[in-house]
Structure 1
Amino acid sequence: MSDQLVIVGAGGLGRILHDWLSRDAALRQRADIVGFLDTRPDPALPPGLDCPLLGNPLDYQIQPGQLFVSAVGAPALRKQLLDPLQAQGAAFLRYVERAIVGARTELGEGVFMMPGVEVGTDSRIDAFAFLDTATLIGHDVVIGSHCMIGAMSFVAGGVHIGDSVTVHPRAVIAKGVHIGAGATIGIGSVVVKDVPPDVTVFGNPARIIST
């Protein structure tokens, strides 16, 4: 019997993941995409998208055989929407089929890697982290839970990224840098020194622009 795959989040990222997962023949042999969960009662799904809205993730009652995948871009919101499902014992898809993952690298529950992602040896990617297309992660890197790493970013060896961090596309994080939990790295930024928690940095070199 195939799993019933439910996508949490019916926005742009949800529709991207629906499109991508629908194209994966191997995945479709073991899971059928049955619908979306979203907090909005009418997320305005395109007419050609034949995939219904099943309910709100905050009060949805999981069904036997259901497998969930997170498609919520904002880390804090992702945690808020996934926590009630986790409390019910929901199972989450870990998707790394089109990525290269180095030896002894640990991957948490619900980690999702888009095509072209490369992760070096002896790293750790914690639960529900999302690594977008063509992101390169070095050796001995730690990426915390619920992080969003934007497309074509580069994270050098020994970097430690705390929980719920957003790294926007094409950012570069230098070797050994620590990024505090809840921080945001602006698009195209070059981070060469540690970033405190809950701040936004931007530029080359990156500087704090808001707290």
Structure 2
Amino acid sequence: MRIGIYGAGGFGRELVQPLRLAHPKADLMFIDDAATGSLCGLPICRIADMKPGDRYVLAVADGRLRQTLDKRCLEAGLVAQAVIDPRAIADPSIAGQGAVFCAYSTVTVPLRIGRQFHCNLYSYVAHDCVIGDYVTFGPRVSCNGNVHVENFAYIGTGATIRQGQAGKPRVIGEGAVVGMGAVVTKDVPPYTTVVGNPARELRCERSPTA
């Protein structure tokens, strides 16, 4: 099996060890159309060098860019590969396609984990949560029970999201950004950035599709 890590930046380098641990027999490489040579002992390839049926992992934090690269890989006939670090606690059956669970992240019993979700070091997702597509959790995010995080949301390092209720979940809107260390006690509207404790609105942007 060949697995390409799309993105030769910092997060891409961080994924080398988890992939080696989880898939010791796989041939690993980086995919980066703007770079050549090798990195971390692995060759850097262009997407045109990959073959249909090869697998890929997206090592890009920005959800919109991740969606663009995801479509490019699918059009090339590649297959999204979920990454579950052996030191993480996550059931493979609930991992969305291409999802990444870094070391010491924990996912308990969510209702849904979306496509290309990134759950960084020491972050957790508690019971009855719904995580949308192309969502990013920085390190040490605490997402408590009955929280719905919509597509493209970004939750910064050390942020805490207060639990919702059965039938009335806490909602982090599409494209919202929760700043590092924020403590979210209320719903966050789509495309709104919140910071602080308790989290308060910093700015609101228009949807990129509006």
Shorter-chain TM-score range: 0.7 to 0.9
- The residue that corresponds to 1:180 in the other structure is 173
1:92 corresponding residue in structure 2: 80
Q: Deviations over 1:87-140 (max 9, x none)?
A: 3442111122432236x9732111110111111224311110010111121100
CA separation in 2, counterparts of 1:61 and 1:43? 12
Give the Cα separation in 2 of the matches to 1:85 and 1:123. Answer: 27
Q: Deviations over 1:167-210 (max 9, x none)?
A: 11110001121001111110000001011111111000111112
Question: Normalized against structure 2, the TM-score is what?
Answer: 0.86
Match of 1:14 in 2: 12
Tell me the equivalent position of 1:123.
Answer: 111
Query: Unaligned 5+ residue runs, structure 1?
Result: none
Q: CA deviation at 1:75?
A: 1.0
- Output the amino acid matched with 2:89: I
1:132 to 108, 116, 120: 120
Structure 1 residue 190 and structure 2 residue 186: aligned?
no
Structure 1 residues 122 and 149: alpha-carbon distance in aligned structure 2, compared to 1, 3 A threshold: closer
Structure 1 Cα separation of the partners of residues 49 and 116 of structure 2: 20
Using a 3 Å threshold, how does the CA distance of structure 1 residues 62 and 200 change in structure 2: closer, same or farther? same
TM-score in terms of structure 1 length: 0.86
Distance 2:79 2:93 in 1: 21
Instruction: Letter of the 1:32 partner, please give it.
Output: D
What is the deviation of 1:42? 3.2
Q: CA, structure 1 residues 113+21, in 2 after alignment: closer, same or farther (shift >3 Å)? A: same
CA distance in 2, matches of 1:208, 1:163: 19
* Alpha-carbon distance in structure 1 between the residues aligned to 2:38 and 2:62: 20
**Do the aligned residues in 2 keep the contact of 1:105 with 1:121 (CA within 8 Å)?**
no
Q: 2:207 maps to what in 1?
A: none
Q: Does 1:161 pair with 2:157?
A: no
1:51 aligns to 2:47 (yes or no): no
Could you tell me which of 188, 191, 198 is aligned with 1:205? Answer: 198
Contact 1:10 1:45 in 2 (8 A): no
Whether the 8 Å contact between 1:111 and 1:127 is mirrored in structure 2 is yes
Runs of 4+ in structure 1 off by over 3 angstroms are 42-46
> Which residue of structure 2 lines up, in the alignment, with residue 75 of structure 1?
63
Structure 2: any 5+ residue segments left out of the alignment?
165-169, 205-210
Tell me the CA shift for residue 9 of structure 1: 0.7
Residues 101 and 15 from structure 1, CA distance in 2 versus in 1: closer, same or farther, beyond 3 angstroms? Answer: closer
Amino acid at match of 1:151: P
Q: Give me the identity figure in percent.
A: 32
Q: Judge conservation of contact 2:159–2:181 (CA < 8 Å) in 1.
A: yes
Q: Which amino acid aligns with 1:37?
A: I
Q: Determine if contact 1:191/1:206 at 8 Å carries over to the other structure.
A: yes
Q: Aligned partners of 1:122, 1:10: CA distance in 2, in Å?
A: 31
Number of the residue aligned with 1:106: 94
